[in-house]
Amino acid sequence: MYPLRRNRRLRATQAIRSLVQETTISPNDFQTPLFVVEGKNIKDEISSMPGYYRFSLDRLVEEVKLIWSLGIKSVLLFVKVEHHLKDNKGTEAINPNGLMQRAIKTVKDAVPAMLVMTDVALDPYSIFGHDGIVEKGKILNDASVDILSQMALSHAQAGADFVAPSDMMDGRILAIRETLEHEGYYDTGIMSYSAKYASAFYGPFRDALDSAPVDTQDIPKDKKTYQMDIANRTEAIRETQMDIDEGADIVMVKPGLCYLDIVRDLKNTFDIPIAVYQVSGEYAMIKAAAQRGWLDENAVIMEQSMAIKRAGADIISSYYSKDIARLIANL
């Protein structure tokens, strides 16, 4: 009771503040998403993600080495698929010599110890920009799960350490796990996008990969029939429980900042590592404000990272991961 207890005593100096600090972040907490394109000597800035790039395989090497040198030990790979290779079946997604499969090998050759995770979903490969196969205006579940399992297997065969299904089809974790087991990939892990919301924050990512749902009659223009309703909270528990039961090693909440209540719910409910994806729109918002001088970018990204970790994240996938690692090193 005041004045016996004066809370400001514990805030008086940097020394006492660091002594009682409850949450810390380190580069070990972070994973870097990477966008890969076909071609040579390409480092192409994404217009809605200033300071973030698509890399051709030759330029990916230097980037991966840089990421490793900053103390970040994991990357999450995405590919921009050339238009002529897109269809409605994900044919290119299982090409053993496809861009993703070559990207996995490129990263592993550049930095063998780097933990490589890969995105598993059809959208970059889909002429309709959907995460699964489209038929009569619907995104088919079980047919999509079949191809997604083959896709995950193909990534494992190319050397991926973890596959990260972001498609939100029902039952895909079990199907992928069984496929991997059946083919002997016991050690390939699954990071499941378990609570992935139908968010408006994915816009810049879809620019980066040219993967937005097409605006055509009779085809859903959004992903609300498979991604979660932004209004729902308990559903996240149900989704995540299922993914854990089906064999997920790591579960994920996505996007980040708007969904930290979900992160805490999962942290309090499950004893399994939780990843949080601070998505492209979150990056773009901070960048835009920082470029105008309206926000202190470094302070804001540290604050957001701390908030995500404090909410319960064990892993943070962030376009700011390199910046964060540099900021931590300079402290």
Question: Max CA-CA distance within the chain?
Answer: 72
Q: Name, in order, each residue with C-beta under 8 angstroms of 8's C-beta and a sequence gap of 6 or more.
A: none
Helices (H), the chain: 14-20, 57-69, 99-110, 142-158, 172-182, 203-209, 234-246, 260-269, 280-291, 297-311, 321-330
By beta-carbon proximity to ligand PBG, the closer residue of 20 and 76 is: 76
What single letter denotes the amino acid at residue 183? Answer: E
User: 10 Å Cβ neighbour count for 63?
Assistant: 19
Q: How far is the CB of 124 from ligand PBG (least distance, A)?
A: 7
By beta-carbon proximity to ligand PBG, the closer residue of 104 and 121 is: 121
Q: Would you name the residues annotated as active-site residues?
A: 196, 254
By beta-carbon proximity to ligand PBG, the closer residue of 119 and 243 is: 119
By beta-carbon proximity to ligand PBG, the closer residue of 63 and 131 is: 131
Q: How far is the CB of 37 from ligand PBG (least distance, A)?
A: 16
By beta-carbon proximity to ligand PBG, the closer residue of 65 and 146 is: 146
CA distance 133 to 142: 9
Q: Is 303 helix (H, G, I), strand (E, B) or coil?
A: helix
Applying CB under 6 A, which residues contact ligand PBG?
A: 119, 121, 123, 131, 166-167, 202, 205-206, 223, 279-280
Q: How far is the CB of 5 from ligand PBG (least distance, A)?
A: 44
Q: Name, in order, each residue with C-beta under 8 angstroms of 16's C-beta and a sequence gap of 6 or more.
A: 9, 10
Q: How far is the CB of 177 from ligand PBG (least distance, A)?
A: 19
By beta-carbon proximity to ligand PBG, the closer residue of 139 and 244 is: 139
Q: How far is the CB of 146 from ligand PBG (least distance, A)?
A: 17
Q: How far is the CB of 190 from ligand PBG (least distance, A)?
A: 15
Q: Name, in order, each residue with C-beta under 8 angstroms of 289's C-beta and a sequence gap of 6 or more.
A: 295, 300
Comparing CA positions, the residue from 239, 326, 298 lying closest to residue 274 is 239
State how far the alpha carbon of 222 is from the alpha carbons of 200, 202, 213, 269, in Å: 10, 11, 6, 30
CA distance 161 to 112: 11
